[in-house]
Amino acid sequence: MKLAGKTTIITGAARGIGRAIAEKFAAEGANLVLADIDEGALNEVANKLGAKAVVADVSDEKGASKVVATAVETYGSLEILVNNAGITRDALLIRMKPEDFDKVLKVNLRGPFLMSKEAARVMMKARYGKIINMSSVIGMRGNAGQASYTASKGGLIALTMSMAKELGARGIRVNSIAPGYIETEMTVNLSEEVIDSFLNRVILGRFPGKPEDVAETALFLAMPASDYITGAVIPVDGGMLIA
Q: Which residues bind ligand NAP (CB under 6 A)?
A: 11-12, 14-18, 35-38, 57-59, 84-87, 107, 111, 134, 136, 179, 181-182, 184-187
Tell me whether residue 3 or residue 137 sits nearer to ligand NAP (CB atom). Answer: 137
Tell me whether residue 3 or residue 214 sits nearer to ligand NAP (CB atom). Answer: 214
Tell me whether residue 134 or residue 234 sits nearer to ligand NAP (CB atom). Answer: 134
Tell me whether residue 70 or residue 171 sits nearer to ligand NAP (CB atom). Answer: 70
Does 181 qualify as catalytic in the annotation? Answer: no
What's the closest the beta carbon of residue 185 comes to ligand NAP, in angstroms?
4
Burial of 100 (0-12, 13-18, 19+ CB in 10 A): middle
What's the closest the beta carbon of residue 132 comes to ligand NAP, in angstroms?
11
The closest alpha carbon to 82, from 38, 43, 33, 124, belongs to: 33
Catalytic residue among 128, 149, 181, 228: 149
Q: What residues act catalytically?
A: 149
